[in-house]
């Protein structure tokens, strides 16, 4: 058999992005076995058995009995996962065009592909297909061939044809021009709009006017918030409804969020886009890696899965202190950087942190109807589980008291999420207009020290109020900045150009933990 060289094109995941990989298949040049080179991991090396069996069971010719070399270039990038099965199989089959059928001219040069093969030739879905598709588009390929189950997700990307194939035979037929499969079509706007409805609403929450106000402020300015209250006061119920008052996701935000969830393998069957802002609520037993992301092959953690949405940490003191401390970087930088032997990976993590905790271990300190059984030393130890630097990064602290029976049984509905969202969106628009070309700053919570001086100027009376609060309540420098940022957001919600005393005083009252009002 004469030597035959074919080139297919694919990509490998690197964090939440993909790197292009050229799959060179050379068959002939003597006897020998099939070898894969180019830093393949175990899953890629095992593709030899999957590919050869799938080709044979599909009734196609496999060029066995000859030396076969598969090179995955560039050779200095580690190749992981089963997504190379499809391009390797197509490349092998193309080396025997006289037996398997001739491909269309430049078919392999114009089409990227990714997919895992079953032994009977079926093409199985893979993780991260959105990243593969985006990379194929960036590299200028006209089309990408993906598993049928992944086609809807890949079709979100405009400007590239997406072919969803169920079997290896179908895939080869498309490339040879004999197949009847057409590119996947998706009405992106309609698809996106129909998936933005949510069944929960703030109108379901009885009472808790102060907590609702604090949460509205937090979402309007992109602030982090802590809720304090006894068990059963509605902290979790309030938190779960926060995504309904955040501005609706734009298509670019949805694609970015979907890419993260796709890499993590969390796109639900039948869904191809994360259209609603994510709400993540990990259990307090979560590890550092589970929260931040990592492992030997780094994947997104909860802070990245919450990107563009809410990260809710219920029973905050129950989390390991070391786990909570890893939150500092994402809270400050809006991204997570993880260094491993495989390289450095950066995951986006722009989220609003919403935490909830009881006032004491038993949960009833300050409760008017139940007595607290905790000793002062127990209460002090419980509060000390949360470090000062972490608390400083939480802009608002709000008490969530128990709701009385009359309010609980009231038939009067509170404000709807849609009404609150209108005010939040209006405040967000003011912030975007204020920061203008500074695209790194979109909300008041992201303001730098320079922006604080520029956009949070205080009158003499406001200066006196803040100075007195700093001296009397022993606020830290970071708490000082948080108060100014929250004051700016309260002023935006009120439609005020300047920060007034009432805005400043309201922001100060949302520093419960600093004022030590639990006892």
pLDDT tens readout for residues 480-493: 999 999 999 999 99
Please identify every stretch of the chain with a pLDDT value under 70, giving residue numbers as ranges. Answer: 1-3, 29-30, 191, 194-196, 269-270, 296-297, 341-342, 514-519
Q: Say which CATH topology domain 202-434 has.
A: Rossmann fold (3.40.50)
The 3-state DSSP class for residue 473 equals helix
In this predicted structure, what is the pLDDT of residue 354? Answer: 96
Under DSSP, the state recorded for 496 is -
Domain boundaries of the chain, sorted by first residue: 4-176, 202-434
What would the two tokens of residue 239 be?
């938190």
Whether 18 contacts 77, CB under 8 Å: no
**DSSP-derived secondary structure for 241-295:** TGGGTSPPPPHHHHHHHHHHHHHTT-PPTT-----SPPEE---TT--HHHHHEET
What would the two tokens of residue 322 be?
């070391």
Q: Give Cα separations from 52 to 34, 60, 85, 120, 146 (angstroms).
A: 9, 10, 10, 10, 19
Query: Beta strands 161-165 and 143-147: pairing type?
Result: parallel
Rounded-to-integer distance, Cα 385 and Cα 98, Å: 71
In this predicted structure, what is the pLDDT of residue 296? Answer: 65
Pick from 13, 11, 17: nearest CA to 347: 17
Rounded-to-integer distance, Cα 472 and Cα 459, Å: 20
Query: What order do you get walking across the sheet with 396-399 strand by strand?
Result: 279-280, 310-313, 352-357, 225-228, 396-399
Q: Which helix (H) or strand (E) holds 513?
A: helix 512-515
In this predicted structure, what is the pLDDT of residue 270? Answer: 63
HSE-up (13 A, CA, CB side) for residue 350: 13
Whether 483 contacts 508, CB under 8 Å: yes
| Secondary structure E strands in 141-216 | 143-147, 161-165
> Phi and psi for 302 in degrees, rounded to 5?
-60, -35
Pick one of 3.40.50.2300, 3.40.50.150, 3.30.230.10, 3.20.20.70 as the CATH number of 4-176. Answer: 3.30.230.10
In this predicted structure, what is the pLDDT of residue 515? Answer: 56
Rounded-to-integer distance, Cα 159 and Cα 399, Å: 50
- Express each pLDDT in 92-114 by its tens digit: 999 887 777 788 888 999 999 99
Rounded-to-integer distance, Cα 49 and Cα 56, Å: 11
Rounded-to-integer distance, Cα 313 and Cα 239, Å: 10
HSE-up (13 A, CA, CB side) for residue 387: 13
In this predicted structure, what is the pLDDT of residue 101? Answer: 79
In this predicted structure, what is the pLDDT of residue 389? Answer: 80
Cis peptide before 74 (omega within 30 of 0): yes
Rounded-to-integer distance, Cα 143 and Cα 356, Å: 48
**DSSP-derived secondary structure for 334-368:** SEEEEEETTEEEEEE---EEEEEE-SSSSS-TT-S
Rounded-to-integer distance, Cα 90 and Cα 111, Å: 12
Where does residue 106 rank: exposed (0-12), middle (13-18), buried (19+ CB within 10 A)? exposed
pTM score, whole prediction: 0.86
Whether 493 contacts 220, CB under 8 Å: yes
Whether 16 contacts 263, CB under 8 Å: yes
In this predicted structure, what is the pLDDT of residue 464? Answer: 94
Under DSSP, the state recorded for 233 is S
Pick from 129, 120, 55, 128: nearest CA to 94: 55
């Amino acid at each position: 058999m004469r030597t035959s060289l074919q080139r297919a094109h694919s990509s490998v995941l690197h964090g939440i992005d993909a790197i292009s990989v050229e799959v060179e298949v050379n068959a002939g040049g003597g006897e020998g076995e099939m070898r894969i080179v180019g830093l393949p991991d175990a899953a890629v090396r095992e593709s030899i058995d999957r590919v050869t069996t799938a080709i044979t069971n599909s009734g196609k010719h496999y060029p066995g009995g000859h030396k076969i070399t598969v090179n995955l270039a560039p050779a200095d990038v580690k190749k992981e996962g089963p997504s190379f099965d499809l391009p390797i199989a197509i490349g092998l089959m193309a080396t025997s065009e006289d037996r398997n059928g001739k491909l269309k001219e430049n078919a392999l040069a114009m089409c990227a592909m990714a997919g895992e093969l079953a032994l009977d030739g079926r093409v199985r879905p893979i993780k991260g297909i959105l990243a593969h598709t985006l990379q194929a588009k960036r590299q200028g390929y006209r089309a990408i061939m993906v598993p049928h189950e992944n086609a809807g997700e890949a079709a979100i990307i405009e400007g590239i044809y997406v072919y969803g194939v169920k079997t290896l035979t179908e895939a080869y037929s498309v490339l040879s021009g004999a197949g009847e499969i057409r590119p996947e079509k998706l009405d992106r706007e309609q698809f996106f709009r129909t998936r933005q409805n949510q069944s929960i609403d703030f109108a379901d929450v009885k009472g808790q006017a102060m907590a609702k106000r604090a949460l509205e402020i937090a979402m309007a300015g992109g602030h982090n918030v802590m809720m304090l209250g006894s068990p059963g006061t509605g902290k979790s119920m309030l938190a779960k409804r926060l995504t309904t008052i955040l501005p609706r996701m734009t298509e670019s935000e949805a694609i970015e969020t979907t890419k993260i969830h796709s890499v993590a393998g969390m796109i639900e069957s039948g869904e191809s886009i994360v259209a609603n802002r994510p709400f993540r609520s990990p259990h307090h037993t979560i590890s550092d890696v589970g929260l931040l992301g990592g492992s030997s092959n780094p994947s997104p953690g909860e802070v990245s899965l919450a990107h563009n949405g809410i990260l809710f940490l219920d029973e905050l003191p129950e989390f390991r202190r070391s786990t909570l401390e890893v939150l500092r970087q994402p809270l400050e930088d809006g991204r997570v950087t993880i260094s491993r032997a495989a390289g450095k990976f950066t995951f986006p993590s722009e989220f609003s942190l919403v935490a909830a905790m009881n006032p004491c271990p038993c949960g009833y300190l300050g409760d008017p109807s139940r007595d607290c059984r905790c000793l002062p030393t127990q209460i002090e130890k419980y509060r000390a589980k949360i470090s000062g630097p972490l608390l400083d990064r939480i802009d608002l602290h709000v008490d969530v008291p128990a709701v009385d029976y009359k309010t609980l049984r009231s038939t009067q509905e509170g404000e709807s999420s849609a009404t609150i969202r209108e005010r939040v969106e209006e405040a967000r628009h003011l912030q975007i207009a204020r920061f203008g070309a500074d695209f790194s700053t979109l909300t008041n919570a992201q303001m730098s020290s320079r922006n604080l001086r520029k956009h949070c100027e205080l009158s003499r009376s406001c200066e006196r109020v803040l100075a007195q609060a700093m001296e009397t309540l022993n606020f830290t420098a970071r708490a000082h900045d948080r108060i100014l940022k929250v004051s700016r957001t309260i002023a935006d919600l009120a439609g005020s150009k300047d920060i007034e005393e009432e805005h400043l005083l309201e922001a100060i009252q949302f520093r419960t933990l600093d004022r030590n009002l639990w006892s």
